Each structure stands twice: as C-alpha cells, then as structure tokens.
Structure 1
Amino acid sequence: MTPQHEPPTRSTLDPLAQRRAPADPVRDVYLTGTVFLDIIFTGLDSAPVRGTESWASGLGSSPGGVANMATALARLGLRTSLAAAFGDDMYGEYCWETLERGEGIDLSRSRTVPGWHSPVTVSMAYEGERTMVSHGHEAPLPAAEPAAECVPKARSAVASLVPGRPQEWIAKSAGQGSLIFADTGWDESGRWELSALPDLAHCEAFLPNAAEALRYTGAADPRAAAHALAERVPVAVVTMGADGAYGVDARTGETAHVPAIAVEALDPTGAGDVFMAGFVTGTLAGWPLADRLALAGLTASLSVQEFGGSLSAPGWAEIAAWWHGVRTLAPAAAPPGPEAAALLARYAFLDAVLPGPGAPWPRRRAVPTLGFRG
C-alpha cells in the first residue's frame, strides 16, 4: 500500500471528510512499536492453577501489540501508517498480510527482519481480566526503532511514553506539525516523576489510567489528577475503567466525565488502544471534549465483547448498528429507564455523524488457527 491509497472499503465513513484540504498530509496518524502475534484463550472458569490443566471454551489469534492501535485507527477511517519490525516467519507474514491487505494500513515504513522470529503473547481471559505470557527478542537495530529522519508527516501520532527514555521520533513528529497523543506504562522504577517523561512536553493529549495518574500527580482522586496533568499538556484524560473517563481541555476550559457503557466482557485485550483510537478520531474531527470521550468509551466497550485486541476493534458500521439498536429498543421501554435515557442523550451527536441506520457488520473475527485465514 502506498500513502496515497484510499482507506479500506471496510470503513463506511471518513470522519475527516469535511476537514481535508489539498495541502494536508496524506496520513492521518503515524505510530511505531512492536507487533506481536496474540493467541487468546477465553471462557476460562478461573486463573490457571499450578500443576493442573485448564480448558478454555474459546480460542483466537490476531496481530497484537502496536497492531491493536493501528487496526482500531484504520477501522475508524483514519489513514494510518505503522513503522514496525516483522519476523520473517509465518507469524510475521500473517501479521503483515492482515494489517496491510486486510486493514489497509500503510506499512511502507515497516521492515521484515531476516532470521528474527515474531514476538508472541498468549492471553488468558477470565472474570473480566486477563493474564498474559509473552516471548520475544529485541529486533536488531536499526529495524527496532525507525530513525527520526524517516518519520513521515501526519496529522497526528500516537506514542507510549517510557520513563527515563526519550524517543527522538516524537520530537521530530511534533516539529513537523503532528498532534501527539500519548499514554504510558507502569513505572517499574517506582519513582513516578513527570520529569522522567520529557516527551510529555511535545504532547497534545496525555491519557493515563487512574492508577498511573494518581501516582504521577499525588492527587487525591482521578479528577484532581486530570486537572494537575492539564497544567502540563493541553488535554489530559484519565481513564477509570468501569467508572468511565474524565477529561480536561486546558485551552477551552472544557471538562467532561463520560460513564462507561456496561457490557459483558469476553476479552479486554487492547481496550485501552481502542479507547485511544476513538479519542484521536474525535479530536482530529474537531468534536467537543465530551463527544470525544463518548466515542472512545463506546468503541472500547464494543471491542471487549469480541476476541483479540486488533480484530475486535469496531468500525463505523458496527457503531451505527449499536446506535440503531439503542434508538430502537430504548423507547420501547415506555418510558425508557434512566440508563437508556442517558445513553440516548449522551450519544445523540451520532445522528449527525453516521450516514444512516447500520446493519450488522460481518466483521472478520479472530479464528482458532492460522490455517483458517483465507
């Protein structure tokens, strides 16, 4: 795929259609990282117990790692470019083919590394949580991290900040005009100092979870943490799991709390990546903060009901099908209950976004073995 390639036909809506201009970058979002092959077990009654054999009722496989984010972005209609190393084994071939041909992701900055095997993660989902076991080796340089001078121009970029490790490409991307959206992982050093995240200075938005935000700011609660982080970045969002997400836009003064949508989770793998993709999409489309948080929460809720972190990511057709269902079923309660009424009010903005009532989307789901990949 070349950068000028149109988004895949799977996306029925271009959320940036009204904002595109001839001089704009051909890419909407750029990201880099490690692609894993994910093997997912679901339907476990409990965590595996030492010395015993556990049986799972569900099994799937899909590209994972940074592929979760890239797929979620592409399925929302964003022209997505990924720079990553791929093994030259069957796993690497499967991941490359799935992302480039299946999802329409630009891999022109990616590389296949001879003699390097693909990283693999086995994920076991139970009781709404997951346990993962991973194996892999660092890709040989320079394939592991693309040189900063090779970073393409894009409307935005998504990064994962690592304490104590500046990433040159982030500054380069921001200097070219990209809006940087970032999250971070657990600080293994235990210091939890914002000064250890120098790339935060280049970010448009920072989206940590509540545990991370509280430790970095020392705040008493997630909302206070979001306000403290908004003193460092233009937009701060703290995700709170079942309690939804709270955001602060320091430029406009907007604040918003959007509750999570209650669903029965099959596999929570990649839900945070899907949330980020929804927030990036709403931001690039110029939506109010509350609508950005609502789309992010909705896409994450839809994703956890399916296998895998990448192939479970929803697109506009599935969002339209969900909204059509809410609008059809909620009024039938006569009158709708408070939860249904809140959904109708909170997601009314979708009427102006979606092209029309959605039909069920026959999404390609993760399958038990690579032999079924057609």
Structure 2
Amino acid sequence: MDLFVSGDVFLDIVFTGLPRLPRPGEETWAPGMGSSPGGIANLAVAAARLGLNTGLGAAFSTDAYGEFCREVLREQGIDLGPSRCFADWHSPVTVSLAYERDRSMITHGHPAPVGADGLVGELPAATAAAVSLTGGRQAWVRRAARAGTLVFANVGWDDTAAWPAAALDLLEDCHAFLPNAVEAMRYTRTATPREALHRLAERVPLAVVTCGADGALAIDAATGQVASAPAVPVEALDPTGAGDVFNAGFIAATLWGLPLRQRLVFANLVAALSVRHFGGSLSAPGWADIAAWWGAQRPGPLGGEYGFLEDLIPAGDLRLARRAGATIDRLPDAA
C-alpha cells in the first residue's frame, strides 16, 4: 500500500445553507443535504482519489448504514481487507450543520467492539500511514515506524479542554504532525501558530500547522527549512472534512517527493476544492476537478504558483468524482 489508515468510520449527514442554528422550539429548513461516509473515511477517500493505493482498518456494523459506507468505500478503490464487520453494534452517526462558513456537529455512537490494534492485526506493508493521537497510544503505530513506514499524525478536538502536553509524547513514533492552529497552540501552550510550529518541530521531524483562511505553515526539522502557503479562495459550501483532505494532499505530495512549499500549496488546493461540495469523503476532489481548476487558472496570476500541476495531472480522460447524495443509496437486493 501507499497509505494505510485506521480509525472510526461514521455515516455523515450534512445540512448546508443554514442562515443560523435553530433556537429551542424552532424548525429550520436547510436548502442542501448530503450523506456520505465520514471520520477516517474522509482521509482515505481523498488519498485514493489522488491515486494512492489506500488501505483502511476500521470497524463496520452490518446495519444499513455500515453496509452503505462499505459499498461506497469499495467503489472508491479502498482496500478494506484489514477491516472487520460486527452484527451486535450499530454504526456511529454524525450530523453536521454548515452555516456562517463553518460547521457544528452532533455525533452519536458507542465504542467499537474491538480497538485499533485488534483491527489492524498483522500490519499491512505500507509506505505511509495516518493516525490520530486522540485516544492514546496504538501499538501498531510503533510497529509501522520500525518497519520503515512514514507515520503522519493528526489530532481531534479535546472536549475536556485539558489539552495535555503529554499527548505529544506519542509523536516519538511519527514522521509528521499536522494539527490545526487552535490544536497546535493549545497543546504547546503558545500564543501564535508560528510559535506553536517551532515548538512542535522539537518533537517531530516534520511539523505542519493549518490556519484555515490564512493557509498553512511547515518546518522540516532535519533541514531547518520553513515554508508557508496561502489558502486558495473559493466559495465554501461545506467545510466538513477539509482538514482530512488537506492531510491526504500533503501525504500524497510528500510521497511524490515535492518540495516542502509545493506540498503545502497542493494540500491547500485540494482542501479548498473539497469545501465546494457536500460532506467530507465524497467532497474530496479527483484529478478531473483539479485539472478543471488548473485549466481555468493557468493563464492567470496563479499560473506560476501552481505550474507544477502540469507534471502531476494524469494524461487522458479523467473521470468525475462521485458526490454525496441527499439520502443513502438503496442497497442492492440480496439476489
């Protein structure tokens, strides 16, 4: 595999176009709605659409939501061999409400019947792996690092508001860490994203901090190289999963051997293209989306900045990526 990922897959139901959240007792109609696999599926699908041979280790319920998520992920070319199905457990569900260029989420679920190490089992051979530090140390990560796999780590929101600095001890097995600015500053107890970046570079060979509309920053600790890249302006429909898509773009660009700044530029681009569509996983751009964007920008002022895309975009006819439907697809009949 080019990339192995392990984590939780959710059924995401996304409502867009909300003028505001409803007050108690109110009903608000949303102009748009989309359903798709979410959670770790966001990163897996985004990576697969960029051409990475991607494997996923996750727990799936045998309920209709779980079957829908599995079918979509198989359709996207993701290897589900390391994943397992469970009958006495229901799929976790997230409802995402997109408004004012941001989103709020409500999630329901129960712990999976088996932890990450029980899912991974015999570790698949992979050039890179992606892991979340949320939830503590996972034994398979150390095994992967010792086998030469480049481990890229991210982290989730700490709803306890503790932001324990000890969580960063998990980075000792990681090649790169890609938190957003708020996460980076709170874990490092710093006041600015740049200060947090330099603090993280003391912990991990490659530190990246994403700053939303302000772009992204990175330091290669081995060389001391510092890079930054601006965000790509687009009309945002739904920001769900944009961070996961950024991570997939950065991992792919790293495996392709692009210079540090071009990795940030490319990751910012694919993340920006993703927010133009519903949902986290099925909003991720494919090469047809990237080629269409580049074709419109090539003669303009961004031509020089993104000229490296000429060598990345595959030749020939490019298939349009599947997008999230309002409701989940009807499963095929048993026959």
- Whole-angstrom CA distance in 2 between matches of 1:284 and 1:204: 12
Candidates 37, 42, 56, aligned match of 1:82: 56
Who is 1:168 aligned against?
139
Inter-CA distance 351–29: structure 2 relative to 1 (3 Å threshold): same
- 1:169 positional shift: 1.4
Who is 1:335 aligned against?
none
**8 Å Cα contact 1:61/1:366 also seen in 2:** yes
1:132 and 2:105 correspond: yes
Tell me the C-alpha RMSD between the 2 structures: 1.9
SS of equivalent to 2:36: strand
Amino acid at match of 2:324: A
Amino acid at match of 2:140: W
- 1:356 positional shift: 5.1
1:267 and 2:231 correspond: no
**8 Å Cα contact 2:206/2:218 also seen in 1:** yes
Who is 1:41 aligned against?
15
1:366 and 2:327 correspond: no
- Whole-angstrom CA distance in 2 between matches of 1:119 and 1:145: 19
Candidates 111, 124, 130, aligned match of 1:152: 124
Inter-CA distance 148–56: structure 2 relative to 1 (3 Å threshold): closer
1:350 and 2:309 correspond: yes
SS of equivalent to 2:35: strand
- Whole-angstrom CA distance in 1 between matches of 2:191 and 2:110: 39
Aligned ranges 1:1-374 → 2 under 5 Å: 27-100=1-74, 102-141=75-114, 145-146=117-118, 149-162=121-134, 165-328=136-299, 330=300, 341=301, 343-355=302-314, 362-371=320-329
SS of equivalent to 1:78: coil
Could you tell me the percent identity over the aligned residues?
Answer: 55
Who is 1:8 aligned against?
none
- 1:351 positional shift: 1.8
- Whole-angstrom CA distance in 2 between matches of 1:358 and 1:103: 17
- 1:312 positional shift: 0.7
Structure 1: runs of 5+ lacking an equivalent: 1-26, 331-340
Amino acid at match of 1:169: W
- Whole-angstrom CA distance in 1 between matches of 2:226 and 2:156: 24
- 1:220 positional shift: 3.4
**8 Å Cα contact 2:59/2:119 also seen in 1:** no
- 1:115 positional shift: 2.1
- 1:275 positional shift: 0.2
- 1:270 positional shift: 0.3
- 1:94 positional shift: 0.7
- Whole-angstrom CA distance in 1 between matches of 2:23 and 2:5: 38
- 1:166 positional shift: 1.4
- Whole-angstrom CA distance in 2 between matches of 1:258 and 1:282: 14
SS of equivalent to 2:240: coil
- Whole-angstrom CA distance in 2 between matches of 1:281 and 1:183: 15
Amino acid at match of 2:293: W
Per-residue CA deviation, residues 62-100 of structure 1 (Å, 9 max, x unaligned), is: 011111111011101001110111111111111101101
Amino acid at match of 1:155: T
Normalised by the length of structure 1, the TM-score is 0.84
- Whole-angstrom CA distance in 2 between matches of 1:197 and 1:233: 9
- 1:218 positional shift: 2.9
**8 Å Cα contact 1:32/1:159 also seen in 2:** yes
- Whole-angstrom CA distance in 1 between matches of 2:119 and 2:18: 42
- Whole-angstrom CA distance in 1 between matches of 2:85 and 2:96: 25
Normalised by the length of structure 2, the TM-score is 0.94
Moved over 3 A (4+): 187-194, 355-359, 371-374
**8 Å Cα contact 1:279/1:296 also seen in 2:** yes
Amino acid at match of 1:348: G
Inter-CA distance 197–148: structure 2 relative to 1 (3 Å threshold): farther
- 1:198 positional shift: 2.6
Per-residue CA deviation, residues 258-282 of structure 1 (Å, 9 max, x unaligned), is: 0001111101000000000000001
**8 Å Cα contact 1:84/1:145 also seen in 2:** no
- Whole-angstrom CA distance in 2 between matches of 1:74 and 1:355: 14
**8 Å Cα contact 1:271/1:300 also seen in 2:** yes
**8 Å Cα contact 1:148/1:168 also seen in 2:** no
- Whole-angstrom CA distance in 1 between matches of 2:96 and 2:162: 29
- Whole-angstrom CA distance in 1 between matches of 2:119 and 2:84: 13
